């Protein structure tokens, strides 16, 4: 589609703004709503149901009833697979609508939403559908007078609390394995990007996933989110979001029923360019996209660029050129590579960190300003700081915007020490032409994912998650299914 077609499509687009409870679109119990804002122009996309405790009660009751009825939980995996495949096909058939919702609700370029978010959501559901009827349980080795079974069972009612940066993809990373394993899932999307989750629930229902099995409660974290996390009949909280909220959720689980908790949290990922990098231009172009993609609002953003001192000046000069291709534009323009920041609050946070960087004595070599104010939207230039020291706040704290800290180093050990000197451990990357160095450094890096001579490589086959305060548990791959199942041991004595 060309620019005009996307704009026309946006003008005609209709979508639901209610909660999806027990197979029905519904207003919140108290009739409350919140305004959903398009970050590209500051205009309202509609009033969305603001769910609270009463809605959580209804959804958990419906989820439990569906689970206990066995209408989904006790189906043969091959039957669940059929419905999930149909769900994935319906997403694919409506890919433009899902992409447009993501772009308008989260400010992301339409080409990214079409190239990644919407198809990746469908792929994740389809991948888990395909996987679930190929997983076997175990028979433990015993003497001949016993039969010992190790089986997996769905955990029950799963609440998935997800963020705004990749709304449908993050929801699908939870939904895919949790639904495939037979659970009833309640998604609480971010209040900043609720629309795609509601749409996914409608499509899932159309695909034959029974009422109560996939529900959506839009609303605020400290209302619907907190009520889910404290609920005694929710068996598992699976979360993607900030470390601060992740810590709260673990506490809520402890204060209530010790529900299982899986936390995918923040990051401050180190990206190392060694002096023996084979293709410095490719490394620098990748470093730029690693901080600019999705406006830098990426948990694995390569926000700390560690560069060997002998190539530091060259890299900085190439970075300055590179960001020229990443200037913010209206997200519905098909050649836009950077869209809008999610909201005014996040924009202020980014601008305040730029201010902090300057005050800390780092050198602002490009960017640093809010732009396109005339649109009413929230746009910021890609920003590069050099002469950053590892102690500075801009190199320690997650900014979640297109702000890069470039840090020089002299030796491999120093690079590793700086890289690991972080409370986070989500991802890390390195560029070298020496395979031994690559392997030794990958092993030494305390991160859930290490990219060698690339950034953000991987697909559904690779587990994704963090070390340290970046969280626990893994999304994607067969390992994700482990989170949504209980392991049962059955020891049978034989005559
Ligand atoms: P956030 O923690 O503010 O919110 C995430 C979700 O938690 C939202 O749905 C929010 O409503 C809910 N929430 C907030 N307070 C709550 C409470 N008291 N009780 C229950 N729920 C509550 O995060 P965000 O700003 O939406 O997203 C950005 C963060 O997400 C960044 O830190 C980023 O690194 C992280 N993230 C991590 C991954 C990963 O896979 N590790 C992926 C994407 C984003």
Please give the pLDDT value at position 145. 97
- The reply to whether 490 falls in a domain is no
Distance 190 CA to ligand 1 centre (A): 8
Catalytic hit among 236, 265, 292, 299 = 299
- The reply to whether 286 falls in a domain is yes
Average pLDDT over residues 368-375: 98
Same domain, 226 and 348: no
- Residue of minimum CA distance from atom 28 in ligand 1: 241
Same domain, 253 and 280: no
User: Which strand ranges, in their side-by-side order, compose the sheet holding 270-273?
Assistant: 363-366, 383-386, 403-409, 304-308, 270-273, 427-431, 449-452
Q: Is 299 a catalytic residue?
A: yes
- The reply to whether 473 falls in a domain is no
Average pLDDT over residues 392-409: 98
The 10s digit of each residue's pLDDT in 454-487 is: 999 999 999 999 999 999 999 999 999 999 999 9
Same domain, 314 and 246: no
- Residue of minimum CA distance from atom 38 in ligand 1: 299
Same domain, 275 and 170: no
Same domain, 240 and 115: yes
Average pLDDT over residues 316-332: 97
Q: Is 102 a catalytic residue?
A: no
Instruction: Give pTM, 2 decimals.
Output: 0.98
CATH of the domain at 54: 3.40.605.10
What domain range is 147 assigned to? 3-265
Contact 341, 39 (CB under 8 A): yes
- The reply to whether 486 falls in a domain is no
3-state secondary structure of 393: helix
Instruction: Give backbone dihedrals phi and psi of 404, rounded to 5 degrees, phi first.
Output: -105, 135
Mutate to test the pocket of ligand 1, among 191, 242, 253, 449 (most ligand atoms within 8 A of CB): 242
Distance CA 324, CA 191 (A): 32
Same domain, 252 and 276: no
- Residue of minimum CA distance from atom 10 in ligand 1: 221
Give 63-103 as a DSSP string.
HHHHHHHTTTTTS-HHHHHHHHHHHHHHHHHTHHHHHHHHH
Q: Point out the domain boundary residue: 226, 244, 265.
A: 265
Same domain, 349 and 233: no
List ligand 1's pocket residues with C-beta within 6 A.
Answer: 161-165, 170, 188, 190-191, 220-222, 225-226, 229, 240-242, 245, 248-249, 264-267, 299, 398, 400, 426, 466, 470-471
Distance CA 432, CA 280 (A): 10
Average pLDDT over residues 397-413: 98
- Please list, in sequence order, all residues whose beta carbon lies within 8 angstroms of the beta carbon of residue 231, skipping any fewer than 6 positions away: 56, 60, 159, 256, 257
Same domain, 296 and 200: no
Same domain, 247 and 274: no
pLDDT level of residue 37 (50, 70, 90 thresholds): very high
CATH of the domain at 446: 3.40.309.10
- The reply to whether 379 falls in a domain is yes
- The reply to whether 405 falls in a domain is yes
Q: Which of 326, 323, 402, 340 is nearest to 375 (CA)?
A: 340
Using DSSP bridges, classify how beta strands 24-26 and 424-425 pair: parallel, antiparallel or unpaired.
unpaired
Catalytic hit among 102, 223, 264, 398 = 264
- The reply to whether 209 falls in a domain is yes
Q: Domain tally for the chain?
A: 2
Same domain, 221 and 284: no
Please give the pLDDT value at position 319. 98
Q: What is the 3-state secondary structure (H, E, C) of 212-271?
A: CCEEECCCCHHHHHHHHHHCCCCCEEEEECCHHHHHHHHHHHHHCCCCEEEEECCCCCEE
């Amino acid at each position: 589609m060309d620019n005009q077609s996307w704009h026309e499509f946006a003008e005609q687009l209709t979508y639901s703004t209610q909660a999806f409870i027990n197979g029905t679109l519904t207003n919140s119990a108290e009739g409350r709503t919140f305004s959903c804002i398009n970050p590209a122009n500051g205009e309202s996309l509609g009033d969305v149901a603001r769910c609270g405790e009463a809605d959580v009660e209804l959804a958990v009751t419906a989820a439990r009833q569906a689970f206990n009825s066995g209408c989904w939980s006790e189906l043969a995996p091959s039957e669940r697979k059929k419905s999930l495949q149909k769900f994935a096909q319906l997403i694919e058939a409506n890919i433009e609508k899902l992409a447009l919702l993501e772009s308008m609700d989260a400010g992301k370029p339409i080409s990214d939403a079409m190239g990644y978010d919407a198809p990746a959501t469908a792929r994740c559901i389809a991948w888990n559908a395909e996987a679930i009827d190929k997983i076997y349980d175990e028979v433990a080795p015993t003497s001949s007078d016993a039969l010992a079974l190790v089986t997996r069972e769905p955990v029950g009612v799963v609440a998935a609390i997800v963020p705004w940066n990749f709304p449908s993809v993050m929801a699908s990373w939870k939904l895919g394995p949790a639904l495939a394993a037979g659970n009833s899932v309640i998604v609480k999307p971010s209040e900043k990007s609720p629309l795609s989750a509601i749409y996914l629930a409608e499509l899932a229902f159309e695909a034959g996933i029974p009422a109560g099995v996939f529900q959506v409660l839009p609303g605020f974290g400290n209302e619907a989110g907190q009520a889910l996390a404290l609920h005694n009949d929710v068996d598992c909280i699976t979360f993607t979001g900030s470390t601060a909220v992740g810590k709260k959720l673990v506490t809520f689980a402890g204060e209530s029923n010790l529900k299982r908790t899986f936390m995918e949290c923040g990051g401050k990922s180190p990206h190392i360019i060694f002096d023996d990098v084979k293709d410095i231009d490719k490394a620098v172009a990748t470093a730029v996209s690693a901080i600019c993609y999705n406006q830098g609002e990426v948990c694995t953003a390569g926000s700390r660029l560690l560069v060997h001192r002998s190539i530091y000046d060259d890299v900085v000069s190439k970075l300055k050129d590179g960001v020229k291709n990443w200037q913010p534009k209206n997200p519905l323009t098909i050649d836009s590579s950077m869209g809008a920041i999610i909201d005014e609050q996040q924009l202020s946070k980014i601008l305040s960190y730029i201010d902090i960087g300057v005050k800390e004595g780092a050198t602002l070599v490009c960017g640093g300003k809010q732009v396109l104010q005339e649109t009413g939207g929230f746009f910021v230039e890609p920003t590069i700081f050099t002469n950053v020291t590892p102690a500075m706040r801009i190199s320690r704290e997650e900014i979640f915007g297109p702000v890069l800290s470039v840090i020089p180093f002299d030796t491999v050990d120093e690079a590793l020490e700086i890289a690991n000197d972080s409370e986070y451990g989500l991802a890390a990357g390195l560029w070298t032409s020496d395979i031994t160095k690559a392997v030794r450094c990958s092993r030494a890096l305390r991160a859930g994912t290490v990219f060698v001579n690339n950034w953000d490589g991987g697909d559904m086959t690779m587990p994704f998650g963090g070390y340290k305060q970046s969280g626990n548990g893994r999304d994607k791959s067969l390992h994700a299914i482990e989170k949504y199942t209980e392991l049962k041991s059955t020891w049978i004595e034989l005559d």
